[in-house]
Amino acid sequence: MAERVFCIDFGSGFTKVALRPDPGATTRLVNDRDIESTDFCLPSVVVVDRSGPKPVVECGKKAAGRTASNGIEVHANWKKWLFLTPAADDPAANPLETFLRSDDLARLATQHGVSAGQLGHLRQLVGSARELLAGFGVHPASRDTQKQQFAASIAAHYFSWLRQEVLRECDRLPYAGLRYDGIPVRVTAPAFAHGANVTTHPGCKLLTAALAKAGWPLHPERPVVSEPYANAVGVLTKGENHLKKDKFDLGATFGKGPLVTTLKDPDHHAPYRAVVIDVGAFTTDFAVLTMNPGGPGESDPDRAFAVQQHSIAFGMSHLDDRVVAAIPAEKAAWVRAAPASELDAFRNAVYTEDKPHRTNTVGKIGAGDDTQPIKDCLTRFAADLGNEVKQFLATLGSKGMAELVLTGGGMNVPALRDAVLAAATANGHEYAKVHGPGVKKPAGGKPVDKLDPRFTRGGSALGGAGLYFEPAYI
Ligand SMILES: Nc1ncnc2c1ncn2[C@@H]1O[C@H](COP(=O)(O)OP(=O)(O)OP(=O)(O)O)[C@@H](O)[C@H]1O
Ligand SMILES: [Mg+2]
């Protein structure tokens, strides 16, 4: 049982942490000092500086400002490696073995006077060693496995830094006498299909192991929830948690907006559903929560709602990949090598503000000849995103009362937001309320909820720390 909980929304670009300081307290984001500068978004960047006698690890904002150079490794956007599903051991995927079998090595052998016979022996020796090891159940790692293991070790460093950062920030909070270091943690993960329970993906196991290694006590009953599910709960409850006789109070916690209208008059409005679309850096996450007929009387919120959820590896970093392929080589190299903080500024200028981004070395990006190719990438990416939205919503009926929630950093980009909104309202889908950054109320149209960054960026952390996911209170 956990009276208090931290929730880490480990994002590919930014990590957000929320705290529920008491069972019925409103969940808050840690390091939420200034809503405009979104200080609660901590860059998920790790730098390993190997230039001195001992490697030095640096994380977060400082790391996001660094550029890779001799001896300085910069790791950004590494969350995806944790969620790789390595193929069955494939010798060709192991870089050392590939090299061993390559013509390059044969050429080198000739150059150094190693005979073809000797090289053949070496190859045979390695082949026998592989067979011998396989007999003991040892399989040399494939390239994907190596990447995954590397990401797991970066994760342990990152979460250890995060823990210090979070505990220091918590000391500024007004809850006298609270022992923050004993509060357990829940983490959010993409809803990649993996068996019946989306949190059983091997990547989730690596994630929780890295947290434990970094000293975070894991939540005893539910250490992982999916990003879209947590996001839906965060935005719809606005981080509020209510108790009735020491138990979770579903009605009061979701007690605003179209859900209440449906509960009051189910004959006209049921079923109630909430559709959440979160465009992140690595994934776009979808969730639909549909209130079950017996839902309002259910004490277990997991049973009150039927949940459909889905994550696809298609986010802002994939838009960057397309842009990189479409612009001149020196500018593409700049985008590839830019520090994470600079890349954020580039995305904001070029995708959101429709302005060129000035660089010190390769001139402006998004001006002159590369204006149109970038625009084309954005248009095509928006269209592909729209198709994914339509595909996800295809099985959804149009009966009942629904609300739509648009979140994630990608939804700040008007072209993407417009495309997602258009796709979500195609095929007869209507919403009693639309939540999102910068959404405008159509003349005479339905109400809108202009979400601020606390919810567009922090929704999953806020929801994941909700009492909703606390089995002891239901
Ligand atoms: N105004 C903006 N214009 C353009 N891009 C933006 C804007 N605001 C945020 N972004 C970008 O959106 C990306 C996604 O942000 P978000 O915090 O939702 O991602 P994440 O949670 O780290 O990723 P994921 O959930 O996929 O792991 C960020 O990397 C950021 O660069
Ligand atoms: Mg995210």
Per-residue pLDDT tens over the stretch 226-268? 999 999 999 999 999 999 999 998 888 887 778 878 877 888 8
Please name the CATH architecture into which domain 5-62+144-218 falls.
2-Layer Sandwich (3.30)
d(CA 368, CA 361): 16
Q: What is the mean pLDDT of residues 433-447?
A: 84
- High-pLDDT (> 70) share of the chain, %: 94
The least confident of 19-28, 111-120, 251-260 is: 251-260
Average pLDDT, the chain: 90
Whether residue 58 has pLDDT greater than 80: yes
Higher pLDDT, 307 or 465: 465
Sequence-distant contacts of 321-328: CB under 8 A, at least 24 apart = 322/377, 322/380, 322/381, 323/350, 323/373, 323/374, 323/377, 326/370, 326/373, 326/374, 326/376, 326/377, 327/365, 327/370, 327/373, 327/374, 328/369, 328/370
pLDDT grade, residue 196 (50/70/90)? low
Q: Please report the atom of ligand 1 found closest to the CA of residue 315.
A: 26
Q: What is the DSSP letter of 215?
A: T
d(CA 84, CA 145): 8
Mutate to test the pocket of ligand 1, among 40, 412, 451 (most ligand atoms within 8 A of CB): 412
Q: What is the mean pLDDT of residues 112-116?
A: 88
CB within 6 Å of ligand 1 — which residues? 11-14, 41, 79, 280-283, 315-316, 344, 347-348, 351-352, 408-410, 412-413, 457
Q: What is the mean pLDDT of residues 290-317?
A: 83
Residue with CA at minimum distance from ligand 1 atom 2:
348
Quote the pLDDT of residue 299. Answer: 67
Q: Please report the atom of ligand 1 found closest to the CA of residue 13.
A: 22
Whether residue 92 has pLDDT greater than 70: no
Q: What is the mean pLDDT of residues 454-464?
A: 97
3-state helix, strand, coil in the chain (%, to 5): 45, 20, 35
Ion ligand 2 neighbours (CB, 5 A) are: 11, 280
Q: How far is the CA of 461 from the centre of ligand 1 (A)?
A: 15
Report domain 229-315+386-473's class: alpha beta
Asked if 32 contacts 16 with a C-beta cutoff of 8 angstroms, the reply is no
* Of 53, 78, 81, 84, nearest in space to 63 by CA: 78
Quote the pLDDT of residue 277. Answer: 96
d(CA 8, CA 137): 36
Quote the pLDDT of residue 199. Answer: 80
Whether residue 23 has pLDDT greater than 90: yes
